[in-house]
Amino acid sequence: MTSLSDDPGQEQWLDEEAGRIVRPYVMTRGRTKPSRGKFDLITLVMTTGAPTPGQPGLGPEHLTIVGMCEERPVSVAEIAAHLDLPAGTVRVLLGDLVDRRLVAVQEPHRDNEVLSLDTYKAVLNGLRAL
């Protein structure tokens, strides 16, 4: 293992085979599920408030999410890609932000109706025509 920084406060430990040693569970304090919500990959997130400086329990990733979603709604998939984190980790972080009323989410609309067989056939025929 090697450190990429001479400043002890800015160490980024790397292992040549494993990559970054800091695991996502550190950011989530060991939690694997959000405190609320499901947060599909296409769920949209929008900032609703500004965090208080030095607010306990908010890490830099939380603050980055709040900043990303200030101007326009951003999907969970975009947030995960921007932060280079697994979607599960982002979901836990989003749960924290929803609990603190710093973000609002818009889940995708789900119809409970089952599509008819004719609809599936029409879609299949349309795909074959491509």
Listed residue (119, 126, 59, 56) closest to 94, CA to CA: 59
In order of their start, the domains of the chain are: 23-109 (1.10.10)
Residue 119 tokens, joined: 């609809």
State residue 3's pLDDT score: 46
Give me the mean pLDDT over the 93-114 stretch: 83
Strands 74-75 and 44-47, how do they pair?
antiparallel
- Over the stretch 11-65, which tens digit does the pLDDT of each residue have? 554 555 545 545 676 777 777 778 777 888 999 999 998 888 778 888 899 999 9
**pLDDT over 80 (residue 9):** no
Cα end-to-end span (Å), the chain: 52
Residue 51 makes CB contacts below 8 A (sequence gap 6+) with: 58, 62, 63, 66, 100, 102
Cα–Cα dist 107/69, whole Å: 15
